[in-house]
Structure 1
Amino acid sequence: MTKRSLVGGRALALAGIVLLAFSLRSAVASLSPIVDEISADIALSPTIVGLIGTAPPVCYAIFGILTPRWERRVGVQSLAVVALVAVTAGMIWRAFATDAVSLVAATALIFAAVGVANVLLPPLVKRYFPDHLGAMTTLFTTTMAVATFVPPIIAVPVADAAGWRASLGLWAAFALAALVPWVVLAIRSRAIIGEENLPVAARRLWSLPLTWALVIAFSASSATAYTMFAWLPLVLTETGGVSAGAAGALLSLFAFMGLPLSLLVPTIVSRTRHGIAVLFVVAIGSALAGVLGLAFLPTIATWLWVALLGLCPLLFPLVLMLLGMRTESPRTAVALSGFVQSAGYTIAAIFPFLFGVIHTATGGWTIPLLTLGVIAIAAIPAAKIIAQSTSVESELRRREP
């Protein structure tokens, strides 16, 4: 490959990664703000709304584990194209839904495709930017954060001006735009699809402590985020004595806290010898302090406990970066990404439900909050394993007789 084609491929991949990351989150975040407007045309029961709300982590878990198998058959670029076609089709279908069944089916298609693309992003960065893993991981996770904040701000005004169908459908334009670079890159790579067999390392991921340590770290971040998005406003109004409006503002604070520090993840990891350990200490220590504060001092400095708890999700960009750092080939990165995200999202899907069950059984919020702290504690030994490991392949080589 010439230098010119390499640069051109990187430019296309850069545009593709950014647009793909934006499409993944905008597809998910654009629905909930306008549920009331949709309900005026389509009868949506609380069960249907709840099903849509809990579907993302379930779809991410199921399709995350299937992605490595599909990637081996068609290649990572081609599978990205398939995922984007499905996201685009799902968003258009959802915008023209005529009943609850078609709305749920279209949304499920979107979440399934997002589950596939979630797994592909770290390996795509590994393939095209192996020398800039940190910077590129920061770029696409920041893009995801922006794509989470922007749709709720725009969705309602667009729905008021042009209707809820236009509000949902406009985000398909970004997924359609993301198709262009990936179609080009898929065509360029078609000659090598199927030539690279699944590495032995990828077939033995389940046997490595490093793999399970990454799963635990990813679970700690995702379970905390999903549980707080589901329950934090109610916890605050019942224990902290805050109004519903203030609880919503504090939930926004929780969502925002992980972003500034996550931007520093590559710098901390690359320039500090113990950067990974430092980030784990910050995330785990802050999560435990936030949980204990909300459990025992909910009316004192409530904003502080929420802000501290909001630092735990900084493990999300760190783990995504480590999926590239702890593998030696893009194909192993696909397998590791699929395994870690699938297992992690499975736990994330269970935990909000478990949080509610414990609340119902105990009649209070102290025990559920302390239970949330358990998963943060579980990340302590995981942090040690991750910080001391080199790569999946090297860990397996050490085990060879």
Structure 2
Amino acid sequence: MKGRVIALVGILIVATTLRSAVTVVPPVVSEIGKDLPIDSLTIGLLGMLPTLAFAFFGFFTPMMMRWTSLEKLLIGAMAVAIIGQVARVFAPNTPLFLIFTVLGLAGLGAGNVLLPPLVKHYFPDRLGLVTALYVTMISVGTALPAQLSVPVASAAGWQFSLASWAVLNFVAVVPWIVLLLGRKQREAAATQSAMAAAAAPERKISVWRSTMGLGLTLMFGCTSLNTYAMFAWLPQILTEAGLSHEAAGSMLALFAGLGLPLSLVIPLFASRMRNPLPVVVFLLICFVSGYLGILLSPGNLTWLWVVLAGIGPGTFPLSLLLINLRTRSRQGAGALSGFSQGVGYALACIGPVLFGVLHQATGNWTTGFIFLFVSLGVLGLGAFFACRPIFLEDQQGDPS
């Protein structure tokens, strides 16, 4: 029982760190620009780096799971995140700042993938509850750095503002070190490692073999694609419709803030359902309704359209829950987590870029929203396969 409590604390603290290095930067870009040359291209790169890093390092993290325990990997990931976040504030030029930013994001990208199998390992009987808690902490860890970044930078400088969040990554490793130092934990880890080594040659889990796994990847990827497209372009859409910059910013905050209650409610509700596809249908209806309102009447009842569109990304916590609900083993959860998040975040990179290109090419927002509607159709198709009560390991075919 004590080990599970420590593991829960560790999971929740790690979850709180997974977006801090991302959202702490945009509010203080102008301050950073006083010391390092930052042009529009650099700002664009800073916007794309998180999803690119999460995709690349998330995709390769499951390969490292074969070499050592999840706990040791997570400690290593947090250490990499600390080094990257601290080193970038001492970077003498912009290229090194970007390189160390990627290093910090590498650790966080690995953390994204490691949390679902850790939840499955320590809390197989509480998947819905623990998923709800840790996804909620991701939302908290996304909002707080953005909120505190400017006040801290004003008081102590942008370097301190950015580097200070590495302290949370340091705190996050403590519970896992405590677990690894315990004799029972060492014995259990040794036994599990031996069993994994013996079982690994028998079957290699490939998400490509699973329609469920591919469906979940599309569901996760299209959710992220739509979310990041709105993060990037919603303020401009609304300001062009006549809203002030302050009002447009408030609407973006409303869109993002809905992730907090959704993270709490959806995993708890969906975990009790044999097939949570009706939840996805409801969320897709909200997505479509909100988009139609923003496209056709952005200046009227704006808050309603933003709320509806903001409810749609509830498919994000549901996707993370399904990683554990649709796998039988920690190995399967790790493989599905790495693949779905790796490929999914790669898809997410397309959203803001293509939406903007379509707007520039046509001079209106209609074509961009048509693209988003198509992606929602793909999301629904993926969810159809992901939500069925079928396990990844059962769709591997003949291992010979």
- Please tell me the TM-score bracket, short chain as reference: over 0.9
Per-residue deviation, 1:108: 0.6
Question: 2:259 maps to what in 1?
Answer: 258
Question: 1:160 maps to what in 2?
Answer: 154
Question: What one-letter code is carried by the residue in structure 2 that aligns with 1:320?
Answer: L
* Aligned residues of 1:90 and 1:109 also touching (Cα < 8 A): yes
The CA distance in 2 between the partners of 1:161 and 1:99, in whole Å, is 23
The CA distance in 1 between the partners of 2:116 and 2:268, in whole Å, is 18
The CA distance in 1 between the partners of 2:336 and 2:83, in whole Å, is 28
Question: What one-letter code is carried by the residue in structure 2 that aligns with 1:356?
Answer: G
1:283 aligns with 2:294: no
Question: 1:72 maps to what in 2?
Answer: 66
Per-residue deviation, 1:203: 2.6
Question: 1:3 maps to what in 2?
Answer: none
Query: What secondary structure does 2:37 align onto?
Result: coil
The CA distance in 2 between the partners of 1:303 and 1:178, in whole Å, is 37
Per-residue deviation, 1:101: 2.1
Q: Which of 105, 111, 127 is residue 111 of structure 1 equivalent to?
A: 105
* Aligned residues of 2:258 and 2:311 also touching (Cα < 8 A): yes
Per-residue deviation, 1:93: 0.9
Query: What secondary structure does 2:103 align onto?
Result: helix
Question: What one-letter code is carried by the residue in structure 2 that aligns with 1:71?
Answer: M
* Aligned residues of 2:24 and 2:145 also touching (Cα < 8 A): yes
Q: Which of 130, 144, 147 is residue 141 of structure 2 equivalent to?
A: 147
Query: What secondary structure does 2:65 align onto?
Result: helix
The CA distance in 1 between the partners of 2:217 and 2:202, in whole Å, is 20
Question: 1:4 maps to what in 2?
Answer: none
Residues 381-396 of structure 1 aligned to structure 2 (within 5 Å): 381-396=381-396
Deviation sequence 1:337-366 (CA, Å, 0-9, x none): 001001111110112111111112211111
Per-residue deviation, 1:273: 5.3
Question: 1:353 maps to what in 2?
Answer: 353
Per-residue deviation, 1:179: 1.2
The CA distance in 2 between the partners of 1:267 and 1:60, in whole Å, is 26
Question: What one-letter code is carried by the residue in structure 2 that aligns with 1:90?
Answer: G
Residues 194-343 of structure 1 aligned to structure 2 (within 5 Å): 195-197=195-197, 198=200, 203-238=205-240, 240-272=241-273, 276-343=276-343
Question: What one-letter code is carried by the residue in structure 1 that aligns with 2:53?
Answer: C
Moved more, 187-196 or 166-175: 187-196
The CA distance in 2 between the partners of 1:242 and 1:130, in whole Å, is 47
Question: 1:129 maps to what in 2?
Answer: 123
Question: What one-letter code is carried by the residue in structure 1 that aligns with 2:30?
Answer: D
Per-residue deviation, 1:202: 5.1
- Identify if the C-alpha distance between structure 1 residues 27 and 202 changes in structure 2 by more than 3 Å, giving closer, same or farther: farther
1:37 aligns with 2:26: no
The CA distance in 2 between the partners of 1:117 and 1:298, in whole Å, is 38
Query: What secondary structure does 2:67 align onto?
Result: helix
Question: What one-letter code is carried by the residue in structure 1 that aligns with 2:62?
Answer: P
The CA distance in 1 between the partners of 2:307 and 2:202, in whole Å, is 43
Deviation sequence 1:78-106 (CA, Å, 0-9, x none): 11011000011111112322321221111
Moved more, 280-289 or 178-187: 178-187
Question: 2:92 maps to what in 1?
Answer: 98
Question: What one-letter code is carried by the residue in structure 2 that aligns with 1:260?
Answer: P
Question: What one-letter code is carried by the residue in structure 2 that aligns with 1:175?
Answer: N
* Aligned residues of 1:389 and 1:395 also touching (Cα < 8 A): no
Question: What one-letter code is carried by the residue in structure 1 that aligns with 2:347?
Answer: I
Query: What secondary structure does 1:299 align onto?
Result: coil
Per-residue deviation, 1:199: 7.5
CA RMSD of aligned residues (A): 1.9
Query: What secondary structure does 1:343 align onto?
Result: helix
Question: What one-letter code is carried by the residue in structure 2 that aligns with 1:394?
Answer: D
Residues 10-49 of structure 1 aligned to structure 2 (within 5 Å): 10-49=4-43
Deviation sequence 1:213-250 (CA, Å, 0-9, x none): 10111122101111111111111112x22111111111
Deviation sequence 1:257-285 (CA, Å, 0-9, x none): 232233111332244555x1232012111
Question: 1:51 maps to what in 2?
Answer: 45
- Identify if the C-alpha distance between structure 1 residues 53 and 381 changes in structure 2 by more than 3 Å, giving closer, same or farther: closer
Structure 1 runs not aligned, ≥5 long? 1-6
The CA distance in 2 between the partners of 1:400 and 1:56, in whole Å, is 36
* Aligned residues of 2:129 and 2:267 also touching (Cα < 8 A): yes
* Percent identity over paired residues: 40
Deviation sequence 1:292-336 (CA, Å, 0-9, x none): 222222233222112111112111111101101111111110001
Question: Number of residue pairs matched?
Answer: 392
* Aligned residues of 1:296 and 1:366 also touching (Cα < 8 A): no
* Aligned residues of 1:233 and 1:247 also touching (Cα < 8 A): yes
Question: What one-letter code is carried by the residue in structure 2 that aligns with 1:287?
Answer: F
Per-residue deviation, 1:111: 1.0
Question: What one-letter code is carried by the residue in structure 1 that aligns with 2:286?
Answer: S
* Aligned residues of 1:201 and 1:393 also touching (Cα < 8 A): no
Question: What one-letter code is carried by the residue in structure 1 that aligns with 2:85?
Answer: M
Deviation sequence 1:89-138 (CA, Å, 0-9, x none): 11111232232122111111011111111000101100111111111111
Moved more, 185-194 or 37-46: 185-194
Query: What secondary structure does 1:203 align onto?
Result: coil
1:179 aligns with 2:168: no
The CA distance in 2 between the partners of 1:59 and 1:77, in whole Å, is 21
